[in-house]
């Protein structure tokens, strides 16, 4: 059984470990901790016995939100947990009267692009050379939006 709840201060060590494993160029622990507060809707995903396997970091301003980061631990990927977490986030944002959810995704992240398209996100623009890569180059970001 999967449970989605708000991130707490005690969760950061586990979230940081997931972040390091799940992303090509992961956030530092400082960046992770700095993206918290009253203007955020940050959720964790837990399975059996409160084991955190994923999280979403989402910033809200007025009636818009931006999904800054979403990650599922690699050994739990491909099992529908990302979809479950994103759906829970969207429902929570709707309850907060958010009307548009924005995100940016690496152009090469075909799995994430497919997931976002399944939810009805539309490509709005491309941000050239936005994301750093592990080999020191840059990769385009696809800007997407979902009307809630």
Is 109 labelled a binding residue?
yes
Catalytic amino acids?
Answer: 104, 116
Is 70 labelled a binding residue?
yes
Is 126 labelled a binding residue?
no
Question: 144 by DSSP, 3-state: which?
Answer: strand
Identify the H or E element spanning 82: helix 81-95
Is 18 labelled a binding residue?
no
Q: What is the DSSP string of 34-77?
A: HS-STTB--EEEEETTTEEEEEEEEEEETTEEEEEEEEE-GGGT
- Parallel, antiparallel or unpaired: strands 100-106 and 64-72: parallel
Binding-site sequence positions for acetyl-CoA = 70-72, 109
Binding-site sequence positions = 70-72, 109
């Amino acid at each position: 059984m999967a449970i989605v709840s708000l991130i707490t201060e005690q969760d950061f060590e586990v979230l940081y470990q997931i972040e390091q494993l799940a992303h090509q160029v992961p956030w530092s622990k400082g960046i992770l901790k700095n993206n918290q507060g009253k203007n955020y809707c940050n959720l964790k995903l837990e399975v059996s016995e409160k084991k955190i396997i994923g999280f979403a970091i989402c910033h809200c301003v007025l009636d818009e939100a931006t999904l800054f980061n979403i990650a599922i631990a690699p050994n739990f990927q491909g099992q529908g947990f990302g979809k479950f977490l994103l759906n829970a986030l969207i429902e929570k944002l709707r309850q907060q009267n958010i009307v548009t959810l924005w995100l940016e995704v690496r152009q090469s992240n075909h799995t994430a692009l497919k997931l976002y398209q399944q939810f009805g996100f539309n490509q709005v623009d491309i941000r050239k050379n936005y994301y750093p890569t592990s080999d020191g180059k840059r990769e385009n970001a696809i800007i997407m939006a979902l009307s809630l």
